[in-house]
Structure 1
Amino acid sequence: MSFFLMMTMTFISLFMLFITHPLSMGLMILIQTLLLSLLLGIYINTYWFSYILFLVFLGGLLVLFIYVSSVASNEMMNFSLKMKMYLLFSIIMFILFSIFKMKNYYLFNNFINNEMNNFNEYFLFFNENKISLSKLYNSQTFLMIMMIIIYLFITLIAVIKITNIFFGPLRSFN
Structure 2
Amino acid sequence: MLYMMMLNWVMSTILIFLKHPLSMGGVLLIQTIIIAMMSGMLYTNFWLSYILFLIMVGGMLIMFMYMTSIASNEKFMIPKLTMILFMFSMMLSMITAYFIDTSLLTPLMKINMSSQLETTKMFKLSIMKFFNHPNFMFSIMLMMYLLLTLIAVVKITDKKMGPLRQK
Q: When the two structures are superposed, what TM-score results if normalisation uses the length of structure 2? A: 0.71
2: CA distance, partners of 1:116 / 1:34:
26
* TM alignment of 1:127-138, pairs within 5 A: 127=119, 132-135=129-132
Counterpart code for 2:23:
S
Kindly tell me: are residues 169 and 30 of structure 1, through their superposed partners in 2, closer, same or farther at Cα, counting changes over 3 Å? same
1: CA distance, partners of 2:60 / 2:73:
20
Distance apart, 1:85 and its partner CA? 2.1
2:33–2:53 contact (8 Å) kept in structure 1: yes
Kindly tell me: are residues 115 and 52 of structure 1, through their superposed partners in 2, closer, same or farther at Cα, counting changes over 3 Å? farther
Kindly tell me: are residues 148 and 75 of structure 1, through their superposed partners in 2, closer, same or farther at Cα, counting changes over 3 Å? closer
> Which one of the candidate residues 132, 139, 157 is aligned to 2:154?
157
1: CA distance, partners of 2:40 / 2:59:
21
Deviations 1:140-162 (A, max 9, x none): x97x7876565344234224426
1: CA distance, partners of 2:60 / 2:111:
34
Aligned to 2:75: 76
Counterpart code for 1:127:
T
Distance apart, 1:79 and its partner CA? 2.7
Distance apart, 1:91 and its partner CA? 3.3
1:21–1:77 contact (8 Å) kept in structure 2: yes
Counterpart code for 2:38:
L
Listed as ranges, the gaps of 5+ residues in structure 2 are: 124-128
Kindly tell me: are residues 22 and 121 of structure 1, through their superposed partners in 2, closer, same or farther at Cα, counting changes over 3 Å? farther
Distance apart, 1:133 and its partner CA? 1.1
Distance apart, 1:10 and its partner CA? 0.1
Q: Which has the higher contact order (CA 8 A, sep 6+)?
A: 2
1: CA distance, partners of 2:53 / 2:62:
14
Q: Percent identity?
A: 25
Aligned to 1:22: 21
Aligned to 2:126: none
Aligned to 2:91: 92
Say yes or no: does 1:169 pair with 2:161: no
Distance apart, 1:66 and its partner CA? 0.2
2:6–2:94 contact (8 Å) kept in structure 1: no
Query: Which secondary structure state, in structure 1, belongs to the residue aligned with residue 158 of structure 2?
Result: helix
Kindly tell me: are residues 89 and 149 of structure 1, through their superposed partners in 2, closer, same or farther at Cα, counting changes over 3 Å? closer
